[in-house]
Amino acid sequence: MDMKRHPKSCLPTPFQRDLLACVEGGLPLVSAPYAQIAARLGVSEETVIDELRDLLDSGVIKRLGVVVRHRELGYRANAMVVWDLPDAEVAVIGRQLGDDPVVRLCYQRPRRLPEWPYNLFTMVHGRDRAAVLEEVQRLAARHGLDRVPHEVLFSRRRFKQRGARYATVSPGSRSEPMDRMQPEQLERA
């Protein structure tokens, strides 16, 4: 099994791709999740932890975390705030907004002129629409964007919310995501 890669490469090895497929749907909710993943992949728990650390260190994955369903926590309003920034300033302002604690997502997209002049997108959550609008005003003021054209687009309905998934696996492969496994395949804590 090839688990080594060239130090300059950011491309995951075949083993790391299998590992990513196992964890992309979430860690199993058992007392020793890495051991369960290791058993699934036929390696040691230490290997799983080391390989995940390597993927984090190399930037292939940014972090391991949970996807919080904000509506269930009482945050009923969320809005995509779209900004029409000068192209030369998008990278700097995007980093600043991305570092702001009220911004949940921040990314650049191409304009679609003449109908869509916006090139920076940020997501802001709040308990209600008024709270989100106030937070957007404070966000704009903190970053000197009061006079920058922008729109606040509130979500109307959530159809899907989960973390990103990239692996394509065939049913029954050893890299099947843990959340697709049958209950009898999962260890009970």
Task: Note the pLDDT of residue 67.
Answer: 72
Residue 8: in which H helix or E strand, if any? Answer: none
59: left (phi over 0), alpha (psi -120 to 50) or beta: left
Domains, the chain, with CATH or none:
1-67 (1.10.10), 70-154 (3.30.70.3460)
Residues 14-72 have pLDDT tens digits of: 999 999 999 988 888 899 999 999 999 999 999 999 999 999 999 888 888 777 777 78
Torsion of CA 102, 106, 111, 116, to 10 degrees: -30
Residues 150-184 have pLDDT tens digits of: 999 998 887 876 666 666 544 444 444 544 444 34
CB 79 within 8 A of CB 93: no
Query: Residue 117 and residue 120: Cα distance in Å, rounded?
Result: 10
DSSP code for 1:
-
Other C-beta atoms closer than 10 Å to the C-beta of 129 total 14
Query: Residue 22 and residue 178: Cα distance in Å, rounded?
Result: 5
137 three-class SS: helix
